[in-house]
Structure 1
């Protein structure tokens, strides 16, 4: 890492700014031996220019301090990458996907997948995260088709067929299947939403079937608490890393609290807004967002992420996305570098998952 004083655009900076207080020690993690891939960003692109211009912008971007003391530093970060080739994503996808399989996998199925992908340059964790992305994509693009058959689903359900067999028959997530059944009864979206928040309000069979659907559905489950908590821990991992290399930044919580006070609501809140001029593999990055999953080159997650990135780029310029389980080499998000977790100490995350597994 090389720390240099900013020149040019940053030479007129004043003093002031904030620094996040909490720090955590880190040990050096293994992996990440590969050299950085060829950068997607054109260093003369509008997004890169905007990232550099944030230091002198008037008015300053939302949440960015007008005074920074000491003045911003240029911090060069060499971030090794180990992307998964597009063809490997395709091969792994054919192995991990089965019709009607949307829930947690039994150990024998996990072992089977591990054996079948053993010769591919993709880890088991990456493959299982890819499976989630593929199932989510299938769920999103088959939703309207499922709802068009809601009356048929309701008839079959009333005739005694259970929600899991219907889920497999129609190749749809169990909770979405249950929602379609309720739609077939003529229930409104709001009634369905409120009833599934409080399943005790459902009749006995419906409650039992919904609870069964929830237990076997990782895609459209109502309760996503553990996933959300893991994402927050991954953000803490990123904070610890950037603290360790002396980067100043503002957190999502900082930005959210400030915007709620000023505007009554959160407006734009990347996980990290860089106060220093951070160059990752030579590319200026004004913000970082953490994604606790594999960055699959698929239409739905790519479109969803691009929409989010476009908002960040419009306000702050070029940034980066850090994928906990790495990413596919075919994935391209305009205005953002794609990074994996190679240089990060994931001890906090490992401890969280171990605790969750044992609780």
Structure 2
């Protein structure tokens, strides 16, 4: 007599048990799968809640900050196509060591720029993007090395006191020259306020050697140097040409300066001030954009830059919903920001900005 149970009575063979078990496991696996996230242009993840907030911002009562009570004519829908060419993540990584060398924080001479241009030839990244990436990497290095510098401040002070210059120490230990100089002053037990005042009026507050070393540090430090007026002026000019672009596309908006004045009058301080606050229903590549903030640099896939920008984006999304960040020198495909699509400046007429930058370059060449 066979010991095999009758399958009609609900029993099963070990083989059929195995099949049922495998089906259950398969069903379990399917249940655990996450829904694919909606993606926008350039692979950016779309925050659907932020999109809804952007679409409804003109209907909310009270209105979000900065939106006029009676907007005439009513907000219209403006759809804009924006071609994007992000830098592949692998390409960006491959360029890191080419553009960023220990102790190299200042302007690059023509020979070094030509060297970089030759080394990145054939890669999907332009020379301007590579140089802007260098600035981002140096900024990140300055931030992450700050604690290490503070721990070694007294050591730097001893070496400086023994006669070694700031630039020599900067190259040897890979610290930004101006940060290094500040650390030396701090190691003398100078307060933060005293250091700030001294660097604001160095001719009056520093001795002869310190003044000489500070000037050398400033000249070789484009990351943590005190005078950022050139960078600010270029950023302002970029915002201007961005405004011109959207005006030409028939888009209404409020500028950062308008928002700033209004918020200072109402709140006593600026609260949320994107470069452009859209007064129409703008969609770029099919994604609602309630605000735009302009960055006069390359959008590197660095944790420090991403965290800093995401914090800013979060404030704007909370008030107006989904927006956009536009990078003057493009961005890395690996960079993702929740609540904002990423744009490059390729559709914008940058002739004013290019002329300005060329003039600055010519002036530096003449001074040199």
Q: TM exceeds 0.5?
A: yes
The 1-side partners of 2:234 and 2:349 are apart by 15
Q: Distance in 2 between matches of 1:260 and 1:187?
A: 34
**CA RMSD of superposed structures (Å):** 1.1
Q: What SS class does the counterpart of residue 92 from structure 1 fall into?
A: helix
What is the match of residue 160 of structure 1?
A: 163
- 1:98 corresponds to which residue? 101
- Answer yes or no: is 1:135 the counterpart of 2:138: yes
Query: How far is the alpha carbon of 1:68 from its aligned partner?
Result: 1.2
Stretches of structure 1 that go unaligned for 5 or more consecutive residues are: 1-34
Partner of 1:40: 45
Give CA deviations for 1:66-115 in whole Å, capped at 9, x if unaligned: 21111111100000000001000000112111111111011100000000
CA positional deviation for 1:40: 2.4
Name the SS for the 1:314 alignment partner: helix
1:162-198 Cα distance to aligned partner (Å, 9 max, x none): 0000111110100011011111111111111111111
Is this contact kept in 1: 2:41–2:341, CA < 8 A? no
What TM-score do the two structures reach when normalised by structure 2?
0.86
Residue of structure 1 in register with 2:246 after alignment: 242
Provide the rounded CA distance (Å) in 1 between the counterparts of 2:81 and 2:321: 20
- Tell me the equivalent position of 1:146: 149
Q: Give the match's secondary structure for 1:269.
A: coil
Structure 2 matches for 1:285-296, cutoff 5 A?
A: 285-296=289-300
Matched, 1:219 2:223: yes
Q: How far did 1:358 drift?
A: 3.3
| Residue 76 (str. 1) matches residue 64 (str. 2) | no
Unaligned runs of 5+ in 2: 1-39, 364-368
Q: CA deviation at 1:36?
A: 4.8
Return the offset for 1:265: 1.5
Is 1:258 the counterpart of 2:262? The answer is yes
Is contact 1:78–1:280 with CA below 8 Å preserved after alignment? yes
Aligned mates of 1:286, 1:36 — CA distance in 2:
16
TM-score, normalization by structure 1: 0.88
Give the CA deviation at 1:356: 2.1
Contact 1:146–1:170 (8 Å) recurs in 2: no
Count the aligned residue pairs.
323
Work out the CA distance in 1 between the residues paired with 2:361 and 2:94: 29
- Alpha-carbon shift at residue 355 of structure 1 (Å): 2.4
- Deviations along 1:265-307, one digit per CA (max 9) or x if unpaired, are 2111100000000000000010000000000000111000000
- Following the alignment from structure 2 to structure 1, what is the Cα–Cα distance between the partners of residues 89 and 243? 30
Conservation of the 8 A alpha-carbon contact between 2:82 and 2:285? yes
* Equivalent in the alignment of 1:184: 187
Distance, in Å, in 2 between the alignment partners of 1:169 and 1:66 is 59
Residue equivalent to 2:209? 205
Runs of 4+ in 1 over 4 A off after TM superposition: none
Give the Cα–Cα distance (whole angstroms) in 2 for the partners of residues 319 and 266 of structure 1.
19
Q: How many angstroms apart in 2 are the aligned matches of 1:39 and 1:149?
A: 41
**Whole-Å separation in 2 of the counterparts to 1:152 and 1:38:** 47
Q: Tell me which protein shows more helix as a share of its residues.
A: 2
Determine helix, strand or coil for the equivalent of 1:275: strand
Q: Any conservation in 1 of the 2:91–2:124 contact (CA below 8 Å)?
A: yes
